[in-house]
Homo-oligomer: A and B are copies of this chain.
């Protein structure tokens, strides 16, 4: 077993180095050679852990997604309904340096999905998972009487996710279109519109 654990830990280390490099320089500029150098491996040695750059990029996107989901689970704790939904949104919005780097990875990755069906599929799975969760929180909120029965949970979930994804695209503009303070204000306006 120690060898297997070791292999998984090494993969995580390499992914972590990759996502930092990609967030800073973009997918196109980062080579397997750069990643090996930054992670302290000889050039060919990464192949034991990842078959190629595409596999590594997919793992990096999935790592960012899993990292966000871990923070979401911790932030939600026992919260349900609208409060859980708000906690989720606050972990996805690019409110601090880590989440800005994550948004840069995600925007870089989206660019690749246009040309690559495998990447498009990975992105679609992640988006659908989030939509299902958001719909679930909205349904809880409806049962608790916090969201009117007239609100279409599927539509409201996709509308809210569009806002969150759009806020991620803003991080690649030179000057952010929404400051962290404005992101929170826009989120509260958005949730107020669903719950009133």
A residues within 8 Å of B by Cβ? Answer: 22-23, 25-29, 104, 107-116, 120-121, 123-124, 127-128, 131, 152, 154-156, 158-159, 161-170, 172-175, 177-178, 182, 185-186, 189-190, 192-193
Contact = CB atoms under 8 A, between A and B. Distances in A.
A168 to B, nearest CB: 8
Given A169-B165, A186-B155, A193-B193, A124 B28 contact: no
Nearest to A108: B114
Given A111-B112, A162-B170, 17 more contacts: A23-B114, A26-B115, A107-B110, A108-B111, A110-B172, A111-B111, A123-B172, A124-B175, A127-B173, A155-B182, A155-B189, A158-B182, A158-B186, A162-B169, A165-B169, A189-B193, A193-B193
Nearest to A117: B174
Contacts of A104: 114
A191 to B, nearest CB: 11
B174 A115 contact: no
A131 B112 CA distance: 27
A25 B115 contact: yes
A162 B158 contact: no
Contacts of A189: 155-156, 159, 193
Contacts of A124: 173-175
B162 A120 contact: no
